[in-house]
Amino acid sequence: MKKKGFTLIEILVVISIIGILAVFLVPKLLGFQDRGKETAVKSVMHSVQLGLEAYNMENMTYPVATDTPLESLCNNYLMAGGYIAEVPDNPFTGKPYTDSDVPGKITYSFDDSSGAYTLIGYKRDGTKKILELSNM
């Protein structure tokens, strides 16, 4: 009488094939998630840029600040004048931006001599730029 079922070797071969596929697929899938979150950071930056332009239209100048994180920019300038409703959520953390955020951080600087501002958004590591927006 012959028993039906898989041998131990057959099961180990299938598990090792699945493991090899996982080694190649998981990093690709994680990369897709990060790219989606980076796109969301760009969207936040464009919303903030609209708030900065509205601030400028009403005050005839942009907020004077250097290397200011998004939370401080929103709290000190944009929310006070109603140019933005609340501190946006950081796509990497799922919570409102804080000044100490590293992944997906956004910083604002204004150069008074040229009248140009710069908004810079960063990737997960907080060092590589995703996008740099300016009024010049």
Yes or no: say if 76 and 87 are a contact pair by the CB < 8 Å rule.
no
Does 1 map to a domain?
Answer: no
**Predicted confidence (pLDDT) per residue in 54-74, tens digit:** 999 999 999 999 999 999 999
User: How far is the C-alpha of 41 from the C-alpha of 35, rounded, in Å?
Assistant: 10
**In the predicted model, what is the mean pLDDT of residues 15-35?**
86
Q: What is the mean pLDDT of residues 113-122?
A: 94
Average pLDDT over residues 14-25: 90
Any domain includes 77: yes
- 1 has a pLDDT exceeding 80: no
How many folded domains does the chain comprise? 1
Q: Is residue 126 part of a domain?
A: yes
Asked if the model's pLDDT at residue 3 lies above 80, the reply is no
Mean pLDDT rounded to a whole number for the chain? 92
Q: Which domain holds residue 55?
A: 8-134
Residues 6+ apart with CB under 8 A from 76: 63, 65, 68
**Is there a domain that residue 3 lies in?**
no
